[in-house]
Amino acid sequence: MSVKELFDLSGRTALVTGGSRGLGLAMAGALGEMGAKVIITARKVAELDEALGSLRSRGVEAVRVVGDLSRPEDVKALADAALEAAGAPIDILVNNAGATWGAPAEEHPLESWEKVIDLNLTGTFLLTQQIGLRSMIPRRYGRIVNIASVAGLKGSQHLKAIAYHTSKGGLVNFTRALAAEWGRHGITVNAICPGFIPSKMTHGLLDKIAPLVVASTPLRQLGEARDLEGLVVLLSGAAARHITGQAIAVDGGASVA
């Protein structure tokens, strides 16, 4: 197999949650550019339709499924719809959908804690379980990429979001535990841990602390959505056949400084 073939995703089908904008849309586009058929999911129809148009304008074969992963009772229906839209088993699952809530730990509302945990952890677990059972385990093949965060690797004095930190830390160990369990089925499970990347979720905070973030980052820059594109392609294809259980920081070195 040539090096180019190691990264070729032709004939593969990828499901990207939270794929209507930001990091999710960027990664969906990257997978599609490398030949995968892409299914994007999110809650908002208008954003999904706009994203679908953008992907198709780039020559990506893409479809969309509306669904809310924060509602455990809806996850099976979402998986049903995604598999129907795919018209084939799902080879690649990118668990990108997520939420955050900013508040000091001593003031953090319970309902906001539950909202973050329900989507970032429980929804991810339930959808992964469905796709694993129905597409990956029977075929003894799969690539699962969980989008965690450097917030799951360490604490922060500036980002007061205890539920978000907890959920992303849980997602990192979910990645390790699942990789250990499902490796025997030919399934790899890895996590990408982005640092601060401008997005709808981070916009308000970065308006306040961007200079501090840049100053404390060895590469002296903020990340961009495109910084995840090559890595998600790597982890989704043949090139990563012997990589599993890893949490890879994409943060300009901030987590090791």
Q: Band of the pLDDT at 254, cuts 50, 70, 90?
A: confident
First-to-last alpha carbon distance for the chain, in angstroms, is: 38
Judged against a pLDDT cut of 80, whether residue 149 lies above it is answered with yes
Judged against a pLDDT cut of 90, whether residue 255 lies above it is answered with no
Q: In the CATH scheme, what architecture does the domain 3-249 have?
A: 3-Layer(aba) Sandwich (3.40)
Domain ranges of the chain: 3-249
Q: Band of the pLDDT at 212, cuts 50, 70, 90?
A: confident
Tell me the two tokens of residue 2. 């040539």
Is residue 197 within 8 A of residue 225, CB to CB? The reply is yes
Q: What residues are paired with 248 via a beta bridge?
A: 192
State yes or no: is 141 an active-site residue: no
pLDDT at 207: 63
pLDDT at 50: 97
pLDDT at 154: 86
Is residue 127 within 8 A of residue 83, CB to CB? The reply is no
Mean pLDDT, range 68-95, rounded to an integer: 96
Judged against a pLDDT cut of 70, whether residue 145 lies above it is answered with yes
**Could you give the C-alpha distances from 106 to 81, 115, 210, in angstroms and in order?**
40, 17, 25
Q: What is the pLDDT of residues 164-207, one digit of tens each?
A: 999 999 999 999 999 999 999 999 999 999 988 876 666 566 66
Dist CA 15 CA 106 (whole Å): 37
Dist CA 25 CA 23 (whole Å): 6
Judged against a pLDDT cut of 60, whether residue 132 lies above it is answered with yes
Is residue 196 within 8 A of residue 223, CB to CB? The reply is yes
Tell me the two tokens of residue 17. 């949650």
pLDDT at 48: 97
Judged against a pLDDT cut of 90, whether residue 35 lies above it is answered with yes
Choosing from 164, 174, 182, 196, the catalytic residue is: 164
Dist CA 227 CA 251 (whole Å): 9
pLDDT at 203: 57
Other beta carbons within 10 Å of 52: 20
pLDDT at 248: 97
pLDDT at 256: 86
CA dihedral 254, 6, 38, 199 (to 10 degrees): 10
pLDDT at 205: 61
Mean pLDDT, range 15-29, rounded to an integer: 97
Q: What angle do the packed helices 22-33 and 45-57 form, to 10 degrees?
A: 30
Dist CA 223 CA 131 (whole Å): 30
Residues in the chain: 257
Tell me the two tokens of residue 13. 């089908």
